[in-house]
Structure 1
Amino acid sequence: MKTLVICVDRDDDFGSKAGLNSPFIGREDNLQAAIALGLKDAEDSDTNTLLAAINIYDEMVKRGMDVEIATICGDVSVGYDSDLVLTTQLETVLGKVRPDRAVLVSDGAEDEFIYPIISSRVKVDSVRKVYVKQTPTVESTYYLLIKMLNDEKVRKRILVPLGLALFIFGIFSLLDPLYQLTQDVRDVSFTSMGLAMIWLVVGLYLLLFAYKAGDRIKRWSVNANRAVRSGSQLIPFAVLAAILFILGILYGFNAATESTDFDLVQQILLFAGGTLWLWVFAYFTYQVGLFINQFLSLGKVAYSNLVASVTVFAVGFIVQGAIDGAHIFFGFGTYDQVMVVMEILSGFLLAVFGGLLNSSFHQLGEEEVDEAETVEPTETLE
Structure 2
Amino acid sequence: MNILHLTTEYPPHIWGGMGRSVPRLCAAQARAGHQVTVLVYEYLQNRQQVEIEFRQHCRIVRVPSLDLSLLQAHLDFSGFDIINCHIFFFAPLLQQLGLPFVYTVRSIEALDLKKRGVTPSADHLKNMDMQKQLVEMAAHLVVCSEAERQHVQAYFPDSAPISVVPNGYEVEAGRKMNQRSFARPLKKLLFVGRFTERKGIDILLGAYALLLKERPEVQLTIVGGNSGMNDRLFLSKLIEGVDASLLGRVQYTGWLDDEQRLDEIYRDHDVLVVPSTYEPFGNIVLEGFATGIPVVASNIGGPAEIISHQWTGWLFQNADVQDLKNSLMEVLDCPPRQLEAITRNAQQALLQHYDWKSVATQTLQVYSVLLRTPVLPS
TM bracket, shorter-chain basis: under 0.3
More helix by share: 1
Higher RCO (CA-CA < 8 Å; seq separation 6+): 2
Normalising by structure 2, we get a TM-score of: 0.23
Bigger Rg, structure 1 or 2: 1
Structure with the higher fraction of residues in strand conformation: 2
